[in-house]
Amino acid sequence: MKLHKAGDVGIEIVGLDVQALIGRLRTAYSDEWMAHYQYWVGAQLLVGGMRKSVEPELLQHAEDEKNHAGMIANRIIQLGGCLVLHPSDWESNGACGFAPAVDPSVRGILKDNIHGEQCAIRYYQELLNFVRGKDDVTFEMIREILADEVEHEEDLQMLMDDEDTGLDGRGRVAGAGMAPAEFQSKVRSLIRKIAFKYGGDCQRAGGFRNNG
């Protein structure tokens, strides 16, 4: 789809400094491309027992961030602005930075991307407040993107919880194909972690009991 500048009235109805808005959108645009690559490269480098569960989630998030970049690009051009064309300029124009997957473990990749999503949520909330009641077109776009980022954070934190408790992302104990004695040891360790994390909730619910 070819992008076009909005008509005169379409820009005229924006009730704030259009150049200031373009500047903030250029920041968001740069962040979305960095987030896209961060998710994609993390999926390629990821190692650990939960890789098969985490990798598809990272790739889906990468696609979502690319779609966000396209939405923001469209609005920047509608407003008469210019895109940040060179990837080398994304970091200096962005607000949330880029984490280069120095630690490719499941925990390391999830931690980096949770941090990125939390930064994005805060930035988009500020941007939403900036345009509220002044630019309905941008407001609706940012609200949609913000909802996606909130969902991304939730997805990643759920995967991190699975990693913390030793599950594989589908509710199964990671390493369930191991030898019986090793598997039992893994289960006992998992039970202790859950009991520590949730206190007495499991016992009150008639759940886990560790007799080992």
| pLDDT at 47 (0 to 100) | 95
Q: What average pLDDT does the segment 128-145 reach? A: 97
Domain edges within the chain: 8-165, 177-212
- What SS3 state is found at 167? strand
Q: Give pLDDT tens digits for 112-133.
A: 999 999 999 999 999 999 999 9
**How many CB atoms are closer than 10 A to CB 55?**
17
Residue 202's pLDDT is what? Answer: 44
pLDDT tens-digit profile of 55-108?
Answer: 999 999 999 999 999 999 999 999 999 999 999 999 999 999 999 999 999 999
pLDDT of 201 strictly over 80: no
- From residue 111, how far is each of 36, 102, 106, 107, 155 by CA, in Å? 16, 12, 8, 6, 12
According to the model, what pLDDT value does residue 7 have? Answer: 74
Closest by CA to 30, choosing from 78, 89, 71, 108, is 89
Considering only 41-50, 130-139, 198-207, which range has the smallest mean pLDDT?
198-207
Q: Give one DSSP letter per residue of 7-49, joined into a string.
A: PHHHHHT--S-HHHHHHHHHHHHHHHHHHHHHHHHHHHH-BST
- Taking 80 as the threshold, does the pLDDT of residue 150 lie above it? yes
Position 11 scores a pLDDT of 87
Q: What is the pLDDT of residues 164-183, one digit of tens each?
A: 876 554 555 555 444 555 55
Domain 8-165 adopts which CATH fold?
Ferritin (1.20.1260)
8-54 tens-digit pLDDT: 788 888 999 999 999 999 999 999 999 999 999 999 999 999 999 99
d(CA 166, CA 187): 9
